[in-house]
Amino acid sequence: MGKLTLYGIDGSPPVRSVILTLRALGLDFEYKVVNLQAGEQLKPEFLKLNPLHTVPVLDDDGFILYDSHAINSYLVGKFSKDDSLYPRDLQKRALVDQRLFYESGTVAPAGVEVMYTVLRQDNPEVPQAKIDALAEAYKNLNLFLKDSDFLAGDNLTIADFHVLAVLTGWVYFLEIEPSKYPRLAGWIQRMKRLPYYEEANGARLELILQLIKAKNFKIV
């Protein structure tokens, strides 16, 4: 196996989703932090890797890939001993893809809207409508878990990693109350029991969560 290098920053949910996948596959990799606040993603050497200047970026022995969804499906396809994390069966894969599209198109943007208000605009007042959009995403994720322990069926998949990385940051804006979202709350607890959860996601959340808490945001 060639050398794997991941470029990213811990505060990024897409980066953490890739780290979760790497740990689930038991892969060794070098982690190179890209300081987005300092503009390192705009330096010429990084733009040669990714002209879109985003993280994560994976370097697999010279093969460069960006976008966490593409990276995670690639990692499973190349390195997994089975296809459980991203099934080859078309119907099972389609279900995983649907969850991934919902995460990237709805769940992540809903939280980013709140995050942008609080951190980027330095505005502690979050409109109720933005919180409502996040609540709607929670409701639908809870529905996805109606008949299974994981988001795309009975097995853990990369869809779980993507949503987990996102939600564990968003919960500080809107709690996942077990009375309102019992299946989603139970899923979060199951995911936190993964042996690699804390190293891959939990501990890496701390800096971004400290920034959020310091803003003392309120809903208006």
Domain extents in the chain? 4-79, 90-219
Separation of alpha carbons 40 and 46, rounded Å? 7
Residue 204: CB atoms within 10 A of its CB come to: 21
Using pLDDT thresholds of 50, 70 and 90, give the confidence band for residue 120: low
Task: Answer yes or no: is pLDDT of 59 > 80.
Answer: yes
The domain defined by 90-219 folds into Glutathione S-transferase Yfyf (Class Pi); Chain A, domain 2 (1.20.1050)
Among candidate residues 29, 54, 58, the one with its CA nearest the CA of residue 40: 54
Residue 37: its pLDDT value, please?
Answer: 80
Please indicate whether residue 55 or residue 207 has the higher confidence score (pLDDT).
55
Helix (H, G, I), strand (E, B) or coil at 217: coil
Helix (H, G, I), strand (E, B) or coil at 30: strand
Average pLDDT over residues 113-141: 84
Task: Answer yes or no: is pLDDT of 220 > 70.
Answer: no
Specify whether 12 is catalytic: yes
Classify domain 4-79 by CATH number.
Answer: 3.40.30.10
Contact 56/42 with Cβ under 8 angstroms? no
- Residue found under tokens 């060794």: 28
Question: Whole-model pTM?
Answer: 0.94
Of the candidates 12, 17, 68, 73, the residue annotated as catalytic is: 12
Cβ-count burial 84-105 (b if 16+ within 10 Å, e if not): ebbbeeeebbebbbebbebbbe
Residue 69: its pLDDT value, please?
Answer: 98
Residue 119: its pLDDT value, please?
Answer: 67
Contact 187/149 with Cβ under 8 angstroms? yes
Contact 89/153 with Cβ under 8 angstroms? no
